[in-house]
Amino acid sequence: MKLSPQWIRDFVDLPVDDRRLAEDLTSVGIAVEGISGDDPNTVFEMEIGTNRPDAMNHYGVAREAAALYKVPLRPIEPAGKGAQSSSALNRTPKAAIFPIQIDDTEGCARYTAQIIRGIKIKSSPEKIAGRLALVDQRSINNAADASNYTLWEMGHPTHAFDLDLLDGGKIIVRRARPGETLKTLDGIDRKLNPEDLIIADAKKPVALAGVMGGFDTMITGKTKNVLIESAWFDPVAVRKTAKRHGLHTDASHRFERGADFAATPVACALVAAWIIESGAGTLEGDQIDAIARELEQAPVVLRTAQVHRILGAKLETHEVVTILKRLGFELVPEPGFEAQFSVRIPTWRLDVEREIDLIEEIARLHGYDKFPNTLPAFHGAVTDSSNSAKEQKVRSSLLALGYDEAVSLSFISHKDAETFSLSPVVELANPLSEEASLMRSSLVPGMLEMLAYNVNRGTENVRLFETGDVYEGAGNGTAEHRRICIGATLSALQHDIPQGDLLEKSKSASGVDVFRSFKGDVATLLGNFQRRKLSFDLEATEYYEPGRSARALLDGEVVAEFGQLASQVAAARKLRTEVFIAEIFADRLYALPFRELLYRPLPKFPAVERDFSFVFKDEITFKRIKSAIQSIHLKDLRAFAPVEIFRGGGIAPGSYSILLRGKFQSHERTLREDEVNDWSGKIVSALAELGGIQRA
């Protein structure tokens, strides 16, 4: 988000220039990612953590700056804006009654309102319009801008209704009723869900609480009387409503992260002051402040001994107290305990819940750079997981094969889950975004993101691997499984194939050869583990390309799926090159022991090779060919492998020519020519039984 340092200086006299302010704020966790413009139009590009909604505004950052530089913070109130104080503003002689009815006390804890009559809707003063423009906000009119300006100034969302368009002279905060609809400010008619938290008048819904106001009660050029609202809404209720309707607004962004319960009267008064200053009007009565329930954070016990232990440095007690007081915390000594305090949390700091949170506040204000570079004392023994040696072996094998280790996020989107998940997914109760709303059930989406990131930045030869956990629903809980994922681009795998071989092959066949190269990497990795038989089948899941994908089985159990990503999936993710992916079920693999390495002396007697050239129908796979040869049981046949595949030319469509090479060798004697010829004849007969036609 963008914030103006000049706006921040409205509340605090800073002893440094803007650039130094940016550096110092970043050092205490209020990150300034960039600076643009110059005085008085300097703008900070801020990166505020989602747990710090109190700092997503100018006054919140001014509060941090005041604590950082040990200077006073001016209070935020209407009188501080050049307007009269709220008590001195024009008021009608007698407060009008406008009931606020909170039916859903869990969804809305507090609702503050103020009525203004006789206003004039017009353009905002230059100061307001100019400052809103600095933070990329469009000026609308003086009433809407007053609400928006207050949001960016102090961080609390507000809204203004056209009072004359509210039916029945009352406001009701409740859940939507079946069949109700609401036309929101964006002009869209929305069918409401009974779980939606709404604001209604006596007859109809007029706003999605904490998300967006209604079209039928919005401020227009004809508006004369307004009702300003400022409320505290439950973060989960706002988040679910916004998600259901596909809305993400400045208001919902803040309410979802937690609003300040005590800020509603101040925000309401500020909006009223700005409207009256820019458009005349008269306040009718006092603020209407309906409190359905009090929100109080429990005090947190702070022990200075624990501060010293965690930070590794002995801070004086008075320094600890001073730092926390500058941030708005109240410390009360606990009777009977030396250097122990009960700390009352300010209403705007919803992120502070535990003692360790307070210690973090002390550390960042004291200055991380002031702590000595020492390691804490350690007593005990380091324990290692039972699979650590196997994970290290996998890691070293993949590094040796040319793959680089990478780490992706543990969250995926619903769209990715539909494509890559084969088991029940685990949904987050309050996700950061729609793109990260589920715990990952596969490592493949994260791997594809990392491959695309590299390819889109000009790196074509990419090989990556990741080890991590995936999550799936299991009854009323969740289950975690260990996975290994490797990924490579077409260009990277082509480097494994001798250039001459590729030149001899047709373009259509080169992808098959690349798949074989990738299959070799998978087989090499699996070769670290003991098994009786490693086999492959063609039953890979549908997001792999048919004919260029397979499953790997160790002693009949599936331990991996791999192959080229299906073209339609690659196109949907806008991948500009073919990529190959393997997902290995590490928990199944780690159940096997390491392969025992056996020494076998090199044979003393020469080997004899024979080539066999056959034409087969496409449905005859090499797996069937190999099985046929194994069934002959030739004890001195040491190897039997394909050398070359050819299609086209004189080969009929639907068939292919394959050159096979057999290697015969004995450990006991030199083989005779007649023996090799006899074995070769048996091989020719076995291949002919498969339907093969021997080529001259």
Q: Which of 311-320, 359-368, 539-548 has the highest mean pLDDT?
A: 359-368
> What is the mean pLDDT of the segment spanning 243-252?
94
Domain architecture of the chain: domains with CATH: 2-74 (3.30.56.10), 100-291 (3.50.40.10), 300-370 (3.30.56.10), 388-589 (3.30.930.10), 608-694 (3.30.70.380)
> What is the mean pLDDT of the segment spanning 306-332?
92
* pLDDT tops 70 at residue 137: yes
Asked whether the beta carbons of 149 and 269 are under 8 A apart, the reply is: no
* pLDDT tops 90 at residue 495: no
Handedness of CA 45, 51, 53, 59 (dihedral sign): negative
Question: What backbone torsions phi and psi does residue 472 show, to the nearest 5 degrees?
Answer: -145, 155
**DSSP codes, 5-22:** HHHHTTT---SS-HHHHH
Asked whether the beta carbons of 663 and 609 are under 8 A apart, the reply is: yes
Are β-strands 557-565 and 579-585 bridged in parallel, bridged antiparallel, or unpaired? antiparallel
Q: What is the rounded CA–CA span in Å between residue 217 and residue 143? A: 13
Q: What is the rounded CA–CA span in Å between residue 281 and residue 218? A: 18
Q: What is the rounded CA–CA span in Å between residue 442 and residue 469? A: 9
Q: How confident is the model at residue 510 (pLDDT cuts 50, 70, 90)?
A: low
pLDDT at 500: 47
Token pair belonging to 523: 């087989």
* pLDDT tops 90 at residue 178: yes
Q: What is the pLDDT of residues 601-658, one digit of tens each?
A: 888 999 999 999 999 999 998 889 999 999 999 989 999 999 999 999 889 999 999 9
Question: Taking CA 409 as the corner, what is the angle to CA 403 and CA 415, rounded to the nearest 5 degrees?
Answer: 105
Q: What is the rounded CA–CA span in Å between residue 249 and residue 108? A: 19
Token pair belonging to 26: 């970043």
Q: What is the pLDDT of residues 195-225, one digit of tens each?
A: 999 999 999 999 999 999 999 999 999 999 9
> What is the mean pLDDT of the segment spanning 237-256?
95
Q: What is the rounded CA–CA span in Å between residue 105 and residue 292? A: 6
pLDDT at 499: 53
pLDDT at 381: 62
| HSE-up (13 A, CA, CB side) for residue 605 | 13
* pLDDT tops 80 at residue 80: no
pLDDT at 134: 94
pLDDT at 379: 65
538 or 362: which leads in pLDDT: 362
Summary mean pLDDT of the chain = 90
**No. of H helices and E strands in the chain?**
21, 31
Are β-strands 2-3 and 43-47 bridged in parallel, bridged antiparallel, or unpaired? antiparallel
* pLDDT tops 70 at residue 243: yes
Q: How far is CA 385 from the centre of its chain?
A: 28
> What is the mean pLDDT of the segment spanning 521-531?
93
pLDDT at 483: 95
> What is the mean pLDDT of the segment spanning 349-377?
89
493 or 374: which leads in pLDDT: 493
Q: How many CB atoms lie within 10 A of CB 669?
A: 9
Name the DSSP letter for residue 246. T
> What is the mean pLDDT of the segment spanning 357-380?
84
pLDDT at 541: 86
pLDDT at 378: 65
* pLDDT tops 80 at residue 385: no
Q: How confident is the model at residue 79 (pLDDT cuts 50, 70, 90)?
A: very low
Asked whether the beta carbons of 307 and 359 are under 8 A apart, the reply is: yes
Give the number of residues written for the chain. Answer: 696
**Among 222-236, 328-342, 382-396, the least confident range:** 382-396
pLDDT at 107: 96
Token pair belonging to 537: 């089948």
> What is the mean pLDDT of the segment spanning 151-174?
95
Q: What is the pLDDT of residues 276-305, one digit of tens each?
A: 998 779 999 899 999 999 998 899 999 999
**Among 124-128, 163-167, 428-432, 549-553, the least confident range:** 428-432
> What is the mean pLDDT of the segment spanning 184-190?
95
Q: Name, in order, each residue with C-beta under 8 angstroms of 676's C-beta and a sequence gap of 6 or more.
A: 608, 610, 664
pLDDT at 195: 95
* pLDDT tops 70 at residue 476: yes
Peptide bond into 40 cis (omega under 30): yes
Tokens 């691997």, residue located: 465
